[in-house]
């Protein structure tokens, strides 16, 4: 068996640097720097070691839109971003609403080997919001689906949402809601506010998100189930989730990196790289989201990585698709907005980008601490490095990152999935 030694890394939470020895997919030894030896040595002096990151919300686009991303290219991008597990959303073509499709995606992930792929199952057949999909079959499949979401669309029918929340209790599943009241957002293009009034773009009111969350947390309480709220984007949503948690309701929430840093003022350029669902909101919303992530109201950061073909972004705003890349810049954005501003320490980052997402997804082998006996899922970060984001150099097949031309801190140097290096120079 091959042993790999990560030499001199600083494990989050530890006072001193350590050597980490991995063998057979497991951490077998943690000791003082320079003391361990092995077949492969990775020099990690001045680097921080985190448990491999886990993404609750990714679009891998396969099957159906392989021109924009495949499971292979998407997981390669994930590994480059420090992720060892991702949850692949169900809005593929065909939709992942059967055991067959989720198993196909799961298998593609295993074959590519860059990170673990956990398919998310659709809540309703074809995402049409009419009938429940075979949630049980997907849960029992080889993909062991636990998170169900119609993401891209909202489960807006109150009765259907209630039934879905009840049904998944049987297998410890969770409904991840994309909160968007469709009647209030028909044809909407950007956040409704001062900027949309000036730019002449149809507005997307915050209440369209908040009203659904309010309803859903009450339903969750009533039926005694578990709810997860996708991509929270408004201050009002944060307030609602805080209230729900204070009542003991079993709700978790995620926020995207882009909602932690970008505002609707960027839309003034009419550049569709900033077009996303939910839309970029105001500075007040960004502040509330950062506070919510810091105090734990928001449990996790999830990328909502959404690759798009260039012809779907290189056009006028109305004609453009919604979505931004996120896997390769997520950690940097969290460091920029939360760590460097003093709101969160590295232990907090581990909790929000690895431990909590793994718990919500019920992944027993991910989000574990770096300690002897644990799976060797490790990400090495250079916290002091800065890099310029250039779309030409991303691992994703698509190029729609809103951070092009921007300098961001904290560079992922290497990623290990059960002891095998999936990213970084050898």
Partner 1 sequence: MKAHLLSATDLSYDDALLVLDTAAELARVADRPIKKLPTLRGRTVVNLFFEDSTRTRISFEAAAKRLSADVINFSAKGSSVSKGESLKDTALTLEAMGADAVVIRHGASGAPHRLANSGWIRGSVVNAGDGTHEHPTQALLDAFTIREHLTDGHGDLAGKRITIVGDVLHSRVARSNVHLLNTLGAHVTLVAPPTLFPVGVETWPAQISYDLDSVLPETDAVMMLRAQAERMDSAFFPSAREYSRRYGLDSRRMEVMPEHAIVMHPGPMNRGMEIGSDVADSKRSVIVEQVANGVSVRMAVLYLLLGGAPLVDEEIA
* Catalytic residue set: 304
Q: At what angle do helices 71-80 and 99-112 cross, to 10 degrees?
A: 50
Q: Which is nearer to partner 1, 181 or 221 (CB)?
A: 181
* Residues at the interface with partner 1 (CB under 8 A): 192-201, 203, 205, 269-271, 311, 314-319
CB of 399 to partner 1, least distance (A): 15
CB of 317 to partner 1, least distance (A): 5
Q: Which is nearer to partner 1, 44 or 195 (CB)?
A: 195
CB of 277 to partner 1, least distance (A): 18
Give yes or no for a contact between 386 and 57, defined as CB atoms under 8 angstroms apart: no
Which residues have C-beta within 8 Å of that of residue 385, sequence separation ≥ 6?
409, 410, 411
Q: Which is nearer to partner 1, 192 or 299 (CB)?
A: 192
Q: Which is nearer to partner 1, 26 or 207 (CB)?
A: 207
Map tokens 């968007």 to a residue.
180
**Helix residue spans in 94-251 (DSSP H):** 99-112, 135-140, 158-167, 194-199, 207-223, 235-246
Pairing mode of beta strands 116-119, 83-88 = parallel
CB of 234 to partner 1, least distance (A): 14
Give yes or no for a contact between 196 and 274, defined as CB atoms under 8 angstroms apart: no
Give yes or no for a contact between 400 and 271, defined as CB atoms under 8 angstroms apart: no
Burial 109-125 (b: 16+ CB within 10 A, else e): beebebbbbbbbbbbbe
Within the chain, how many helices (H) and strands (E) appear?
11, 18
For residue 123, the Cα-to-chain-centroid distance in whole angstroms is 19
Q: Which is nearer to partner 1, 128 or 268 (CB)?
A: 268
CB of 268 to partner 1, least distance (A): 8
Q: Which is nearer to partner 1, 114 or 204 (CB)?
A: 204
- Token pair of 356, please? 């909590």
Pairing mode of beta strands 190-191, 203-204 = parallel
DSSP three-state, residue 153: coil
DSSP three-state, residue 201: coil
Which residues have C-beta within 8 Å of that of residue 271, sequence separation ≥ 6?
none
Give yes or no for a contact between 354 and 381, defined as CB atoms under 8 angstroms apart: no
CA distances to 8, 14, 167, 347 from 11, in Å: 9, 5, 41, 10
CB of 39 to partner 1, least distance (A): 52
Map tokens 């950007």 to a residue.
190
CB of 312 to partner 1, least distance (A): 10
CB of 128 to partner 1, least distance (A): 24
Q: Which is nearer to partner 1, 171 or 270 (CB)?
A: 270
CA distances to 21, 53, 175, 340, 380 from 28, in Å: 6, 20, 37, 33, 18
Whether the bond between 96 and the residue before it is cis, its omega within 30 degrees of 0, is: no
CA–CA distance, 56 with 241 (Å, rounded to integer): 18
Q: Which is nearer to partner 1, 128 or 315 (CB)?
A: 315
């Amino acid at each position: 068996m091959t042993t790999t030694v990560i030499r001199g890394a600083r494990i989050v939470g530890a006072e001193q640097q350590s050597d980490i020895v991995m063998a057979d997919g497991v951490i077998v030894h943690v000791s003082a720097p320079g003391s361990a030896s092995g077949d492969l040595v990775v020099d990690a002096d001045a680097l921080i070691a985190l448990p491999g990151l886990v993404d609750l919300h990714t679009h891998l686009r396969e099957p159906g839109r392989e021109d924009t991303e495949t499971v292979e290219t998407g997981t390669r991008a994930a590994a480059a971003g420090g992720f060892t597990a991702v949850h692949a959303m169900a809005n593929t073509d065909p939709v992942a609403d059967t055991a067959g499709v989720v198993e196909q995606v799961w298998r593609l992930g295993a074959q590519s080997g860059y990170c673990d792929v956990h398919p998310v199952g659709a809540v309703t057949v074809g995402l049409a919001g009419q009938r429940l999909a075979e949630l049980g079959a997907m849960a029992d499949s080889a993909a062991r689906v636990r998170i169900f979401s119609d993401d891209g669309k909202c489960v807006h029918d109150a009765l259907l949402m209630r039934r879905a929340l009840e049904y998944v209790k049987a297998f410890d599943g969770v409904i991840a809601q994309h909160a968007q009241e469709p009647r209030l957002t028909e044809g909407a293009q950007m956040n409704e506010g001062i900027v949309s009034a000036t730019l002449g773009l149809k507005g997307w009111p915050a209440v369209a998100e908040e009203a659904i969350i309010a309803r859903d947390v009450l339903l969750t309480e009533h039926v005694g189930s578990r709810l997860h709220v996708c991509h929270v984007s408004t201050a009002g949503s944060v307030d609602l989730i805080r209230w729900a948690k204070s009542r003991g309701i079993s709700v978790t929430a995620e926020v995207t990196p882009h909602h932690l840093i970008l505002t609707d003022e960027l839309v003034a350029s009419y550049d569709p790289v900033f077009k996303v669902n939910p839309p970029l909101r105001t500075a007040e919303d960004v502040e509330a989201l950062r506070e919510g992530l810091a105090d734990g109201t928001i449990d996790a950061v999830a990328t909502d990585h959404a690759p798009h073909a260039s012809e779907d972004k290189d056009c006028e705003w109305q004609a453009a698709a919604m979505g931004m890349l996120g896997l390769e810049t997520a950690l940097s954005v969290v460091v920029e907005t939360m760590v460097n501003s003093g709101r969160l320490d590295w232990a907090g980052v581990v909790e929000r980008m690895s431990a909590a997402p793994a718990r919500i997804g019920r992944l027993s082998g991910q989000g574990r601490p770096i300690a002897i006996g644990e799976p060797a899922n490790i990400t090495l970060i250079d916290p002091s490095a800065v890099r310029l984001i250039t779309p030409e150099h991303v691992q994703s097949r698509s190029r729609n990152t809103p951070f092009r031309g921007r300098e961001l801190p904290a560079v992922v140097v290497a990623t290990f999935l059960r002891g095998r290096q999936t990213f970084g120079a050898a």
